[in-house]
Copies of this chain bind each other. A is one copy, B any other.
């Protein structure tokens, strides 16, 4: 026989599927439109449902699809740019920073957190819970760890619990001098409580932004914020308002 072997390294079916569906999204579907259900799609492409789902998962990871149990799969809007620039040198909670305080408790932080704060291993800190909303949708959930030493003037007795207490802690923090901050971004999966706040399933991919706030030679606070990776694009600088269209050009309803 001839040795004309065109595809010696066949690409996986789900990878090819992802490409085909991705192109179809660009040409045949409008944002918000509902796709056929997974069983139909699998039958249409002649693959098992699990294989079809592998392709959809990739597209969801890239922010092109949105899947909701009991509802269906829809075409996702472009990712929203969320400004996380560190240039402004401000404490959390300053000047309407688009976060809303939800709660405030006292607890001993995880060891990974305690390592950054100059506290003892079993020392309690304030834990402020905040939520960030953008365009009406929750995009991030944050845990802000504040050692008692950073808000020494705060009296636990006269501050009520809940959001008011959170605001009191932030207000006290803002009275200090902010020497600098420090930011890191990495991929993670949503903890159960974060997932609930973000209207996602536990384990959903998130971008974890860790920020250290320095004051008087110490780490005065540490923020761990989890952003929805499917809907968010983190921006550093002034590009937050620029429209980015990643996949193809125009779209039309079918």
Chain A residues at the B interface, C-beta cutoff of 8 Å: 11, 15, 18, 58, 61-63, 79, 81, 86, 111-112, 115, 180-189, 192, 202-203, 205, 207, 210, 212, 229-230, 232-239, 244-249
Contact = CB atoms under 8 A, between A and B. Distances in A.
- Top 5 nearest A-B pairs (CB, nearest first) are A187-B229, A182-B237, A186-B233, A183-B236, A182-B239
Contacts of A192: 11
A186 B245 contact: no
* Overall SS of chain A's interface: mixed
A245 B184 contact: no
Given A181-B237, A182-B237, A202-B15, A188 B86 contact: no
Given A112-B244, A112-B247, A237 B63 contact: no
A238 B182 contact: yes
Contact of A234 (B115, B186, B238): B186
Given A61-B205, A239-B212, A185 B111 contact: no
